Amino acid sequence: MGTKLSVSIEGATKPEIAPRTDRPPTFDPQFGFEKPRKVREMKATWEEMEQFKLTAGQRDYCAHHLIELMKCQRANAPFAGHMCDDKRNAWDKCEYEDYLMRIKEFERERRLLMRKQRKEAMAAA
């Protein structure tokens, strides 16, 4: 709790070490790893997302789970709440794991920016 506030305060006081969430990472995603990291890829196509009228916020790496949930809800219309629990849980779990991954990437970017600033300060001294 309070991380949103502390991150925004840090972004205002030290913008050089605050990662931008609206831009791609500034460091190589493979930097610091012995084995190459698996590249994330979308499983749902743009046509499927258009067909199911997914909003911009729903067009993420978990869109394929949401599409399956929407198909299940349409097929089991009056009883969709109970019939589609497994699909709902799969989508919720995917969203949670995606959220954790984004938090970890944000923290990694922040630490790499701090490291870069430290190295530049040591080189200047």
Spacing of C-alpha 33 from chain mean position: 20
Q: What is the pLDDT of residues 14-46, one digit of tens each?
A: 877 888 777 788 888 888 888 998 888 999 999
Query: Which residue ranges make up each domain of the chain?
Result: 42-125
3-state DSSP helix/strand/coil percent for the chain, to nearest 5?
65, 0, 35
Residue 117 has pLDDT above 80, yes or no: yes
Reported confidence tier of residue 1, pLDDT bands at 50, 70, 90:
very low
Sequence-distant (≥ 6) Cβ neighbours of residue 40 within 8 angstroms: 61
| pTM attached to this predicted model | 0.79
pLDDT recorded at residue 59: 94
